[in-house]
Amino acid sequence: MKRVLVTGGAGYVGSGLLRTLLNTGFQVDCVDILKFGGDSLLDIWTHPGFAFHKIDITDYPAVDRVLQQADYHAVVHLAAIVGDPACGREPELARRVNLDASLHLIDSCQAAGIPRFIFASTCSNYGKMSDPDLYLDEDSPLAPVSLYAELKVEFEHYLLDSIPRQETFAPTALRFSTVYGLSPRMRFDLTVNEFTKDLASGRVLEIFGEQFWRPYCHVGDFSRAIQAVLEAPPEKVAHDVFNIGDTAENYTKKMIATELLRQIPTAQIEYVYKEDDPRDYRVSFEKAKNVLGFNISKTVPQGIAEIKEVITQGIIADPEEQKYYNIPHQRPA
Ligand SMILES: NC(=O)c1ccc[n+]([C@@H]2O[C@H](COP(=O)([O-])OP(=O)(O)OC[C@H]3O[C@@H](n4cnc5c(N)ncnc54)[C@H](O)[C@@H]3O)[C@@H](O)[C@H]2O)c1
């Protein structure tokens, strides 16, 4: 049975991924510092295929020890200070975790002879599209406009261009869309989740810059994309980068609002005009479809429906709790 180590496995993306991998027959190790608690690991804690290591990825000797203690097939690297606001608040920590520790991790994986490495990057690396009629693809220029994206771009360059090409090591970068949907570690600081939560809680939603584009993807589909890379022949994915999402799932905030109004007809939405946004991009996802055979299984309207249900039915009783946010969160009045 193949064994995979996931850094950041207790987080929003990782906690779903751990279950997907366990359910498809992998043994799974999780490395995490539990920044947002460990509730997301409770129901897999006693699974015979699961192991947890409470390790900070900036603790290099501890990282080296864990990588060498088992015969891993792959490392999926998700641990990070996540999002523009969180990196902006703690820039030194962001650099230490998102860049320095990531460089150490990938070198240490190679030294340990681990054949696969998958890195969670982001479509926000593209910044702003220069031609609004075109879709950005993996060959489009990168124009990061935040420290978060700058660090992702810097690490991508290392992974794609600086690591010597060897048949024994296949590193891959995945540029994820903005994510949404239910996960064992919920986040309500992501556009679709936040908008739906606010309206389902009966609040008036203010939308800034309704005309700007972004691609969106369900968190469960991220796990399926990672699984597709793990199962692909190494020569198809080594030293390569894939956008993850679906070309039909590029939305403006106005389009998301229209869908919210369809599902929550009593919703009150106010638009605040914004002339410009440094992040405005529509992305093509054809490469992942053609090379990996990856297709999404859910769309934004389905994500809105599932978030609406857990709020209106009280399954998540208090979505304003701090644990659902990556930066200090103020309870709305
Ligand atoms: N959520 C998105 O829209 C999105 C989009 C594109 C890419 N990504 C990337 O996917 C990855 C996961 O994002 P997420 O939404 O699950 O974030 P998250 O904040 O929910 O999870 C990050 C996890 O990393 C852990 N962590 C943080 N610092 C650590 C350290 N020093 N050592 C060990 N563990 C540490 C945290 O405890 C947490 O469990 C990130 O790399 C992120 O940049 C996310």
Domain made up of 183-215+250-282+299-324: CATH architecture:
Alpha-Beta Complex (3.90)
Q: Which CATH number fits domain 3-179+216-244: 3.40.50.300, 3.20.20.80, 3.40.50.720, 3.40.50.10330?
A: 3.40.50.720
> Quick check: 278 pLDDT over 80?
no
3-state secondary structure 303-314: HHHHHHHHHHCC
Per-residue tokens: 330: 């103020």
Percent of the chain with pLDDT over 90: 91
Average pLDDT over residues 284-310: 98
Question: With bands split at pLDDT 50, 70 and 90, how would you rate the model's confidence at 168?
Answer: very high
DSSP-assigned states of every residue in 251-272:
EEHHHHHHHHHHHSTT--EEEE
Average pLDDT over residues 161-165: 92
C-alpha 120 to ligand 1 mean position (Å): 9
In the structure, what pLDDT confidence band is assigned to residue 61 with cuts at 50, 70 and 90? Answer: very high
Residues of the chain with CATH 3.90.25: 183-215+250-282+299-324
Q: Is 122 in the pocket of ligand 1 (CB under 6 A)?
A: yes
Q: What is the reported pLDDT for 150?
A: 97
Using the structure block, give the residue that is written with the tokens 């879709």. 135
Angle between helices 191-200 and 300-312 (to 10 degrees): 40
Give CA–CA dist 190/245, Å, rounded: 16
CATH 3.40.50.720 intervals, the chain = 3-179+216-244
Split at pLDDT 50, 70, 90, the class of 72 is very high
CB of 326 closer than 6 angstroms to any ligand 1 atom:
yes
Query: Across residues 58-64, what is the average pLDDT?
Result: 98
Over 90: is that where the pLDDT of 271 sits?
yes
CA dist 248 to 41, 140, 217, 295, Å? Answer: 33, 19, 10, 11
- pLDDT at position 274: 78
Burial label, 63 (beta-carbon count in 10 A; 0-12, 13-18, 19+)? buried
Determine whether the shortest distance from the Cβ of 149 to ligand 1 is under 6 A: no
Check if the beta carbon of residue 24 is closer than 8 Å to that of residue 49: no
Q: Is the CB of 9 under 6 A from ligand 1?
A: no
pLDDT of residue 132: 77
Does residue 183 have its Cβ closer than 6 Å to ligand 1?
no
What counts of helices (H) and strands (E) characterise the chain?
12, 12
Which DSSP string do the residues of 55-117 spell out, in sequence order? --TT-HHHHHHHHHSS--SEEEE--S--SHHHHHHSHHHHIIIIIIIHHHHHHHHHHTT--EE
Q: How far apart are the C-alpha atoms of 77 and 119, rounded to whole Å?
A: 5
For the chain, give the mean pLDDT.
Answer: 96
Residue 26 Cα to ligand 1 midpoint, Å, equals 21
pLDDT tens column, 89-102: 999 999 999 999 99
Distance CA 222, CA 187 (A): 15
Banded pLDDT at 76 (limits 50, 70, 90): very high
What span, in angstroms and rounded, lies between the C-alpha atoms of 309 and 315?
8
pLDDT at residue 171 greater than cutoff 80: yes
Q: Over the stretch 181-225, which tens digit does the pLDDT of each residue have?
A: 999 999 999 999 999 999 999 999 999 989 999 999 999 999 999
Distance of CA 16 to the CA centre of its chain: 11
Q: Measured in angstroms, how far is the CA atom of residue 271 from the centroid of ligand 1? A: 30
- Classified as helix, coil or strand, 4 is strand
pLDDT at 140: 94
Average pLDDT, integer, range 78-85? 97
Q: Is the dihedral of CA 86, 90, 91, 95 positive or negative?
A: negative
Q: Which of 78, 283, 325 to mutate to test the pocket of ligand 1 (most atoms within 8 A of CB)?
A: 78
Is it the case that residue 108 has pLDDT exceeding 90? yes
Q: How far is the CA of 266 from the centre of ligand 1 (A)?
A: 34
For the stretch 1-21, pLDDT in tens is 899 999 999 999 999 999 999
